[in-house]
Structure 1
């Protein structure tokens, strides 16, 4: 613990002009006397720490002193800093912030940021990500209510293993004790999260997620998109075959696993309104037609 504190103090001094002993003591939850001893140890190790007197006094590194920058190039350093900043904001992770400070000491002094990462969390419970990450680190069982794709609500007990960010959403993966198997849950459908005090031991082997056995299980969904829905359709299906037509419309060919059961796909297609029409498969056209008719019934008396 002392060594970790000493290393953190060194990097803080490298990234700040002057830091007071009281400020360092408060951050590391130690006494100012301990900070004085730490500074003595850092000086003895060969780091040129300078003491500044006065009201705004404290400690800092000698002007011009920098860490060796040969470990990583400036591009690598700045890319890592950008990603870590986003993670530290999402998780309020002090360790990530500490890593950023260490990286800044070997980064260029003057750099214009060319990369920005925003890990959107509006679709999740505000504290769910932080609570789940803590549970993963401490190996605590978590309990939550979950709405599945069939709109059924169940209560799950889970051994959380890792968080994923994909398809613009956060997911938690782990061993579901309720189903006695590994499962992945989308955080936007998760409610009433509770981190228990019960801990678990990881299983010897974490099975890989079952993949589609072959591409033959994918079926093409062909849609014609009008000019008023081009941008939205390209946002939703940006890596598919597209064919533009003289009138400005576009045909998309979207490979989907079991499209007649893919309710997520129905939602997207219906969201285009009159801006898109399903051409194939015919059975999907009938499903969407039925969905629209059911929706209209809700407004018959309006």
Structure 2
């Protein structure tokens, strides 16, 4: 009971400029002398409590220790708490939880958050994200097996720089010691991730390539046009949110997307084939031929007699 009271007093002092001993005593149903002893314990624990004299005197936290509430509005605080709560769940990071508790001391009471974020999608190995984050923050080399887009199996050593969450997947970007160049790896294709005891020097922005992959290929794309039938609309729209969309009277839709080298984009073929009869590629014609061949090859194992 005493510990709960001490914690409650600390948060109240963080949320108020000055509180008198009598006010605290009345709220916690104890004597003012008990509050005096509680304040001594809180001070001994390292919290900078100051005593204010006078008619409106009492106890407060020293200026500069508390974050000024005027710096962040209630919307800012709630949004930060929501985002950090999601990160805390993904990384199981106790330090993030401590930050959340501090933010809650300056946030509005009893306000329901209008934002919810769930980052726990398409998780890879259970320890992969913590290992990668530890490698980034502690400047330690990571090692892992990787399957690239050509389905080649390689073992890599990497100096991780940062984690990305994009396109509903986690990616890690850093300097690949195996290839001696900066690379980005998709976590869902990483296996046997381990954290080495070998360390590396922090990377500066000058070390990284000045042109990112997306920038260099921005003007080297081809338009892919395909028709989506009503039964496949939701899945296609989920996957191609930025596509140009044109609805038709029969409930179908024509989608147009810009793709880098669509004839070599296995991810595009895989997704379009996953829609089955729900989608038909209209352009480019060469992509239609590739999909037809893929379908024929997919049937071969089932055509064998047993």
Deviations 1:239-272 (A, max 9, x none): 1111111111110111111100111111110110
Is 1:141–1:159's contact at 8 Å kept on the other side of the alignment? Answer: yes
1:75 CA displacement: 0.2
Is 1:90–1:121's contact at 8 Å kept on the other side of the alignment? Answer: no
Deviations 1:150-198 (A, max 9, x none): 0000000100111100000000111000000000000000001111101
The aligned residue for residue 120 of structure 1 is: 120
Which secondary structure does the structure 2 equivalent of 1:192 belong to? strand
Is 2:227–2:279's contact at 8 Å kept on the other side of the alignment? Answer: yes
TM-score, length-normalised on structure 1?
0.80
The aligned residue for residue 240 of structure 1 is: 243
Which secondary structure does the structure 2 equivalent of 1:106 belong to? coil
Q: How does 1:79-158 map to 2 (within 5 A)?
A: 79-158=79-158
Is 2:147–2:189's contact at 8 Å kept on the other side of the alignment? Answer: yes
Which secondary structure does the structure 2 equivalent of 1:277 belong to? strand
The aligned residue for residue 196 of structure 2 is: 196
- Measured in 1, the distance between the counterparts of 2:12 and 2:122 equals 32
Distance 1:12 1:90, change over 3 A: farther
1:291 correspondence with 2:294: yes
The aligned residue for residue 165 of structure 2 is: 165
TM-score, length-normalised on structure 2?
0.79
- Measured in 1, the distance between the counterparts of 2:215 and 2:70 equals 44
- Measured in 1, the distance between the counterparts of 2:286 and 2:83 equals 44
The aligned residue for residue 11 of structure 2 is: 14
The aligned residue for residue 55 of structure 1 is: none
Q: How does 1:239-278 map to 2 (within 5 A)?
A: 239-278=242-281
1:120 CA displacement: 2.2
Deviations 1:102-149 (A, max 9, x none): 110110011011100000243311110011101111111111100000
Structure 1 unaligned runs (5+)? 1-8, 17-35, 49-60
Larger gyration radius, structure 1 or structure 2? 2
1:46 correspondence with 2:37: no
Could you tell me which of 218, 226, 229 is aligned with 1:226? 229
Q: CA RMSD in A?
A: 2.7
Which secondary structure does the structure 2 equivalent of 1:132 belong to? helix
Distance 1:167 1:128, change over 3 A: same
Structure 2 unaligned runs (5+)? 1-5, 14-39, 53-59
Number of residues of Structure 1 aligned to a counterpart in Structure 2? 261
- Measured in 1, the distance between the counterparts of 2:273 and 2:9 equals 53
- Measured in 1, the distance between the counterparts of 2:81 and 2:107 equals 9
